[in-house]
Amino acid sequence: MLRAIIRSIIRFLFALLSRLDVQGLENIPPVGAGILAANHLGRLDSPLVFATVQRTDITSLVADKYQNNLLVRLLVNAVHGIWINREQADFRALRLALDYIESGRLLGIAPEGTRSKTGALMPAKTGVAYLASRADVFILPTGIWGTETAMSRLGHLRRPKIYIRFGEPFHLPALERGDRSVALQKNTDEIMCHIAALLPSQYWGVYAEHPRLKELSAAAHPASAI
C-alpha cells in the first residue's frame, strides 16, 4: 500500500512539473527476475523509473551518501531500496542485490555507478554483467535523457521535457572460459551499447565508436544505414 501511494505521488509530480515522453512500456516483462540497466544523468532518474515501470516489485541500488537526507532515506527504505557504498567494493550490497533478483524480482541499476560528469555515457563498471551472469536473468536496457537539466529548468519555472525509452529485454551470453575479466568487460559493453542505442547520438559518449553500437543502431534504423 505504501509503495503504491509513493508511486502515485511521484507520478503526479512528474505529470505536473514536467513534460514526460515515455516509450517502450510494452517491452517490460510483467513478471520474472531481471535487471533494468539505465544510464544516469540526473537525480530524477531513479524516481522516474520507479514512477513509470508498472511492476510492484521494482527497486534499485542507491548510493549510501543519500542516507544523510532524511526524506530520501525514508522513501528508499519504504520501497526496499538497496544501499550501496560506491567508493569501494560493497560485497554486502551485491549479495543483497543478487538475493533480490534471484527471488524473481526486478532490480534497477546504473552500470556507470554514478551520475555522468560529461552529460554522456561514461565507462561502465562490470557489476551489472556479473549479477546478470550469476543469476541468469534478462537485462532490460533503458535510456533516459532530459533529467540532466531538469532541476535547473524547474528552478527557472520552466517545465523540462524528459524522455525515457525501454528497449527489448535480452540475455547476455554465458561467460567464456579463460579470462573472466575480459568476458565480463565484453558483456558490460554489450549492456551499454544496448542502452546507447536507445539514446540520441549526443549521449553516446565513450561508446560512440563501439562497433556493437553501430550494429544495434543500424538494426534499429535500417534506412539511415543505407
Return the pLDDT at 226. Answer: 40
Q: Around 70, how many Cα atoms within 13 Å sit in the side-chain half-sphere? A: 0
Q: Quick count: other Cβ atoms within 10 Å of Cβ 85? A: 12
Confidence band for 225, pLDDT divided at 50, 70 and 90: very low
User: CB-side exposure of 25: number of CA atoms within 13 Å?
Assistant: 10
Decide: helix, strand or coil at residue 140: strand
Does pLDDT of 222 surpass 70?
Answer: no
* 73-77, 87-91, 206-210, range with the lowest pLDDT: 87-91
pTM equals 0.93
- What distance in Å separates the CA atoms of residue 208 and residue 202, rounded to the nearest whole number? 9
Q: What percent of the chain has pLDDT over 70?
A: 97
Torsion of CA 152, 119, 214, 23, to 10 degrees: -30
Cell triple for 49: 523509473
Task: Give the model's confidence band at 223: pLDDT under 50 very low, under 70 low, under 90 confident, else very high.
Answer: low
| Cα(11)–Cα(199) distance, integer angstroms | 22
Distance CA 47, CA 24 (A): 18
Provide the pLDDT confidence category of residue 220 given band limits of 50, 70 and 90: confident
Q: How far is CA 121 from the centre of its chain?
A: 12
Q: How far apart are CA 131 and CA 141, in angstroms?
A: 15
Residue 175's pLDDT is 82
What is the mean predicted confidence (pLDDT) over 73-96?
A: 89
Residue given cell 535487471 in the structure block: 35
The percent of residues above 90 in pLDDT, for the chain, comes to 78
Query: Residue 4 has what pLDDT?
Result: 87
Apex CA 53: angle with CA 59 and CA 58, to 5°? 20
The rounded distance, in Å, linking the Cα atoms of 112 and 91 is 17
Cβ(145)–Cβ(156) below 8 Å: no
Q: What is the mean pLDDT of the chain?
A: 92
Q: Is 174 helix (H, G, I), strand (E, B) or coil?
A: coil
Domain ranges across the chain: 2-225
Burial of 149 (0-12, 13-18, 19+ CB in 10 A): middle
8 Å CB contact between 168 and 64: no
Give the residue, 1 or 163, on which the prediction is more confident: 163
Tell me the per-residue pLDDT of 6-32, one tens digit each, with 9 for 90 and over: 999 999 999 999 999 999 999 999 999
Of 135-139, 185-189, 220-224, the poorest mean pLDDT is in 220-224
Note the pLDDT of residue 95.
93
Asked if residue 36 lies in contact with residue 177, where contact means CB atoms within 8 angstroms, the answer is: no
C-alpha to C-alpha distance for 144 and 191, rounded to whole angstroms: 15
**Which CATH superfamily is 2-225 part of?**
Glycerol-3-phosphate (1)-acyltransferase (3.40.1130.10)
At 142-170, the pLDDT tens digits run: 999 999 999 999 999 999 999 999 999 99
